Amino acid sequence: MANDTLTITDNRTGKQIEVPITHGSIPTSALRQFTVDENDPGLLTYDPALTNTASCKSKITYIDGDRGILRYRGYDIETLAEKSNFLETAYLIVKGELPDEERLKAWNHNITMHTMVHESINKFMDGFRYDAHPMGILMGTIAALSTFYPDAKDVQDLQSRRLQTRRLIGKMPTLAAFAYRHLRGLPLVYPRNELSYTGNFLRMLFKMASDYTPNPVIERALDILFILHADHEQNCSTNAVRAVGSSMVDPYSAVAAGIGALYGPRHGGANEAVVRMLEKIGSVDNIPKAIESFKSGEERLMGFGHRIYKSYDPRGKIIKKLAYEVFEVTGKNPLIDIALELERIALQDDYFLKRKLYPNVDFYTGIIYQAIGFPETMFPVLFAIPRTAGWLAQWAESIRDPEQRITRPRQLYLGEAPREYVALTKRPEPLEREDQVAEDI
């Protein structure tokens, strides 16, 4: 019978070791036993961008990238999008099980009683420039929350973790809406807890002089989008939250780091970049030229490709359908025609097929957000709000995991050998070193 082990031979020394294979992985620390002499610290694995490294054990989200499957705590994303709502899904992600009626009521109450933010946060927000990107405002204000809740430092305490989780999920829409109102130069609208999570958010965003009643189709569409974005296992921002959280810093600081990671155009900033790209393409006639620039590497086809999905992102399918439900209320966003044609042409092209590049979650979301009336800079913010549930679940899982320690990867040092310090007046002319300085920077 086959052993669940891997035998590795170091051909430099002939040393052989046998390491256990558990859950399809080997503990790479075992390789440190391979040394060539007593000064050798041991063999490392080299994995830039961690493409083949499992950094944790997790019970939260399952993805099968080849078959396009996404599950939270064992439930298919399609089922949750159809039958659940965001706050219930957030409960599932954070606590591991779907709530019964009583627990859901208590959870909803516990989240909504934290929707207000300290008035000082508003003053702080006022200091941002009129054109500040709302993702930068969100990142800054979430980090600032850590100064309001010193109790959050007690990350080992279950009650404290629970409280910060409720606070963060509760306050995120309020801060996001405040960032939007700042952008528009509009007075802030305070939360109304009798509304749903997304209904309250829409009101805080769009209420003008008369009161605002959220359209139920838009309210539900946003809720579905929030379900779809709630977690996605070890993506860049979740990895950032876990890594920063591993220093045992408070969760506000860790989540602020996650927001920073999400902001980038290769991650959550892609939804914003997709709409800018579609606007730049401008018409279906320009698609073939655009496709050429994506293939030449001059630009990337934003909203396409994924590190894990090598088939259609299951979230993308739901979102594409949802777009038409939203357009029933808002009118059609003409960018959808360019997006559909772009997808059709790309999915017939060898370049994209060979590399298994399919539309991801961000390809159609921006088109919906734009139809609802969000400016492009708000799109990544709309990603950050629901992802907070996932970040906090992953953070708590990491804190509780006895195998986790402070995240501290290794490096392969390829720099200079020891050398003498040269006095300022004796150093070579800057011109002689220009190339190297440019590369170093």
- Residues 34-93 close enough to bind ligand CMC by CB under 6 A: none
| 61-64 and 16-20 beta bridge pairing | unpaired
**Rule CB under 6 A: is residue 307 a binding residue for ligand CMC?**
yes
| Annotated catalytic residue, options 182, 229, 232, 306 | 306
- Environment class of 105 (CB within 10 Å of its CB; exposed 0-12, middle 13-18, buried 19+): exposed
Active-site residue 337, yes or no? no
Q: How far apart are CA 229 and CA 311, in angstroms?
A: 18
Active-site residue 306, yes or no? yes
Considering the complex, state which of residue 199 and residue 305 has its C-beta at the smaller distance from ligand CMC.
305
Fill in the per-residue mask, 224 to 263: x = in contact with ligand CMC (CB under 6 A), - = not in contact.
-----------x----------------------------
**Rule CB under 6 A: is residue 165 a binding residue for ligand CMC?**
no
327-357 burial code (b ≥16 CB/10 A, e <16): eeebeebebbebbeebbeebeeeeebeeeeb
- The strand ranges marked E within 376-422 are none
**Rule CB under 6 A: is residue 173 a binding residue for ligand CMC?**
no
Q: How far apart are CA 261 and CA 255, in angstroms?
A: 10
Candidate residues 300, 310, 317, 332; the one interacting with ligand CMC per rule CB under 6 A: 300
| Annotated catalytic residue, options 10, 64, 76, 267 | 267
**Rule CB under 6 A: is residue 343 a binding residue for ligand CMC?**
no
Active-site residue 232, yes or no? no
Q: How many other β-carbons are positioned within 10 Å of the β-carbon of residue 66? A: 11
Structure tokens at 358: 């399919």
Candidate residues 72, 178, 252, 294; the one interacting with ligand CMC per rule CB under 6 A: 294
Q: Are residues 384 and 268 in contact, defined by beta-carbon separation less than 8 angstroms?
A: yes
Pick the piece of the chain touching ligand CMC (CB under 6 A) from 9-17, 100-108, 214-222, 304-312: 304-312
Q: What is the closest distance, in whole angstroms, from the C-beta atom of residue 413 to ligand CMC in the complex?
A: 24
Fill in the per-residue mask, 359 to 378: x = in contact with ligand CMC (CB under 6 A), - = not in contact.
-xxx----------------
Which residue(s) pair with 76 in the sheet? 71
Look at residues 237, 357, 351 and name the one whose alpha carbon lies nearest to residue 303: 357
**Rule CB under 6 A: is residue 277 a binding residue for ligand CMC?**
no
**Rule CB under 6 A: is residue 386 a binding residue for ligand CMC?**
no
**Rule CB under 6 A: is residue 270 a binding residue for ligand CMC?**
yes
Residue 18 φ then ψ, to 5°: -115, 125
Binding positions for ligand CMC, rule: CB under 6 A: 235, 266-268, 270, 294, 297, 300-307, 355, 357, 360-362
Residues with catalytic roles: 267, 306, 362
